[in-house]
Amino acid sequence: MNKKVAFYTLGCKLNYSETSSIGRMFNDAGYETVNFTDQADVYIINTCSVTDHADKKCRKVVKEALKHSPSAYITIVGCYAQLKPKEIAEIEGVDMVLGAAEKFRIVEFISDLTKQPKAIIHNSPIEEAHQFVSSYSFGDRTRTFLKVQDGCDYSCTFCTIPLARGASRSDTIENIVHQAEEIAKSGVKEIVLTGVNIGDFGIREGKRENQFLDLVKALDEVDGINRIRISSIEPNLLSNEIIEFVAQSKRFVPHFHIPLQSGSNKILGLMRRRYRRELYQDRVNTIKSLMPDACIGVDVIVGFPGETREDFIDTYNFINDINISYLHVFTYSERENTLAIDMDGAVPGSQRADRSKMLHSLSEKKRRAFYQTQLGKTEEVLFEADHKEGFMHGFTKNYVKVKVKYDPVLVNELKQVKLDQILPEGEVSVLEAEEILTHSH
């Protein structure tokens, strides 16, 4: 009988694409993938070091796994496993910990499922993680996360990712185009490009061979994919040429996610970000001048050391004044082995929480204002497989979330609909949904 493997992923879209690829390796080795709540012989937990309480979450997931299958073999991979292998090895029930360079050789490491008295660690220094291993997520019929780049050469003072994932490195354009063609054959209609610092795409074995724009142009020619989204790109790497190309592209959608982190130049300096807010504003203005309906998402960190009330208000007003569509708000949390942990001016937890709350409210206001500008327009929506209380959702190219009555025929279909009104939950309802959708079947 085939051995069974189950997966649990914490963290970012890149982790999801890698879990999916590790899953395919297990399938090729004869394992059957089952749900986490089923009894599995092996559980793989892919961890994150960016979100808070990595250790707590990891412990909790291990505990859950052993509840479902008390004698299962538990392996931990991912960023937290690279940074704190010994700490993880101490967690009761963990059998193996694999670092960044080892996680894609997981099947050979796990050939023997005999539990040892102590967890086995395979974790080489991060400098040895210089190979690019391609990955894409599989299983969601509507969209796929395609990894194009890994690692980061930046040294932001709050971030542990370079320590967890190593130097910036990329796949070849040829290989990525081939994967996109394979994905298209599977019937998926949307690809989301993912990486740690995807604007830095093009470095292979330490040398720059291409630019991100070269990849964008190549992917725009792939038949069978209707939409390509850029997941997140640093403002200093989002060149005017990229923006101009997306504006007239066949497949790239008018949706950008651009980390800001702070609207105060003083704090951007302390964070060692590679731009100032003037450049950020310039990027937003350029996008909106070429694509007035573009959706722009923003990452922002509150409570960074040294952030005074004035600095925060500076950030708040800056974001309020620029034409963006929504925020992802992160509360600063101390990370070992970062420069920020030794900086003066720690912000009390209660103030961090208050600032976070203010920005969450601002995000809602911004999203509503953006959705308001889209009402009355006829847009193409790609419907997803979710089914909740008789309704389903889909997204327009520019990331407006649309809600309609559930109809299984609509799953993974692109339909023209007229955006009607903003619902109390924040999604948009569709005018004459029934009629439009019935006619288009």
Whether residue 140 is found in the same domain as residue 248: yes
How far the first Cα of the chain sits from its last, in Å, is: 43
- Residue 434: the pLDDT is 47
Unique residue bearing structure tokens 């308001």: 372
Report whether 15 contacts 147 (CB < 8 A): no
Whether residue 295 is found in the same domain as residue 317: yes
Which residue range(s) make up the domain with 233? 130-253
Whether residue 382 is found in the same domain as residue 365: no
299 C-beta neighbours (distance < 10 Å), count: 14
Residue 268: both structure tokens together:
């951007």
Residue 49: both structure tokens together:
């070091």
Nearest Cα to Cα of residue 43 among 96, 2, 89, 91: 96
How many domains does the chain fold into? 4
227 C-beta neighbours (distance < 10 Å), count: 21
- Over residues 85-136, the pLDDT tens digits come to 999 999 999 999 999 889 999 998 987 888 888 999 998 888 878 888 889 8
**pLDDT below 70 — which residues of the chain?**
51-52, 431-441
Q: Is 14 exposed, middle or buried (0-12, 13-18, 19+ CB in 10 A)?
A: buried
Whether residue 209 is found in the same domain as residue 304: no
- Residue 435: the pLDDT is 46
Whether residue 247 is found in the same domain as residue 339: no
Residue 382: CATH number of its domain:
2.40.50
Unique residue bearing structure tokens 């790109």: 233
Fill in the DSSP letter of residue 400: -
Residue 143: CATH number of its domain:
3.30.750.210
Report whether 376 contacts 419 (CB < 8 A): yes
Residue 70: CATH number of its domain:
3.40.50.12160
Residue where one domain finishes, among candidates 340, 374, 408: 374
Whether residue 49 is found in the same domain as residue 162: no
Whether residue 175 is found in the same domain as residue 63: no
- Residue 134: the pLDDT is 87
- Residue 432: the pLDDT is 53
- Residue 438: the pLDDT is 45
